[in-house]
Amino acid sequence: MGEGDPPLSSVKSVDRLFEIIRVLDEFDGARVTEVATMLEMPKSTVYGHLSTMHQHGYVIKEGNEYYLSLQFLRLGEHARWRKQAYKLAHDKVTWLADRTDERAQFIIEEHGKGVYVHRETSEHGVETDSNIGERVPLHATAAGKAILSALPAAYAESVLEDLELERFTEHTITDPDELRKELQAGRERNYVFNDEESTKGLSAVGVPVLEQSGAVLGAISVSGPTHRMNGDWFTEEIPLILLGTANELELDITFS
């Protein structure tokens, strides 16, 4: 929700629909009775929602089990490429992965979470369970903290107040004041670090990307195993590569 937006109200039937979609996604398909049991809904309600989604092509049925259909892929791809700036970011992410021989990603913020829009992994880069469209915590990721550091101060504070500072490793920053200090340091140097804060053994550097208006578009980051992400390579060279890439991307966005 953006600045000044009114509070959102929910429609119960729509809430139920999205809960059903979540279950089908999480469990890679399910039967009517299984969904009804997990969500504590009447089987007739679940069946009605699934039948409607089936009629519109949003689920498929194999035997007695329902699965999400590729209609969601079509919608997701539209959202992923709808902005010209997102398209421009793709080539930069690919270049970063090749240049650093690690994993690079472009992440945006939606509803207080970071969302992977683009991700490329080099030959020696490390794969994790983060996929395109995956939502990640802002406070525990380099790209997420880069986004927070570039937001207008008042809006950043409102976002921080809503964040649940969940602990993922012993290095995760869960104290709001400590996080504020970290973000202030990021504002001053224009890049931030993730030192095993989201995943043990994985470190990253993130840099914000701004639109022509000065609004935060998202962030680019490079991540890799901590034993490689150290010394001047981690603290100086990768930040310089990211800053240069972000500058080029912002120029591309401005003049595209």
**pLDDT tens digits, one per residue of 167-189:** 999 999 999 999 999 999 999 99
Q: What percent of the chain has pLDDT over 90?
A: 61
- Name which of 5-19, 64-78, 162-176, 207-221 the model is least confident about: 5-19
Kindly list the structural domains of the chain, giving each domain's residue range(s) and its CATH number in brackets, ordered by start. 12-69 (1.10.10.10), 76-255 (3.30.450.40)
Dmax over Cα atoms in the chain, in whole Å?
A: 61
Taking a C-beta distance cutoff of 8 angstroms, is the pair 183, 191 a contact? Answer: no
pLDDT digits (tens, 9 = 90+) for 84-116: 888 999 999 999 999 999 999 999 998 888 899
How far apart CA 142 and CA 137 sit, in angstroms, is 10
Residue 103 three-state SS: strand
Q: For residue 191, how many other CB atoms are within 10 A of its CB?
A: 24
Kindly tell me if the per-residue pLDDT of 3 is higher than 50: no
How far apart CA 174 and CA 82 sit, in angstroms, is 34
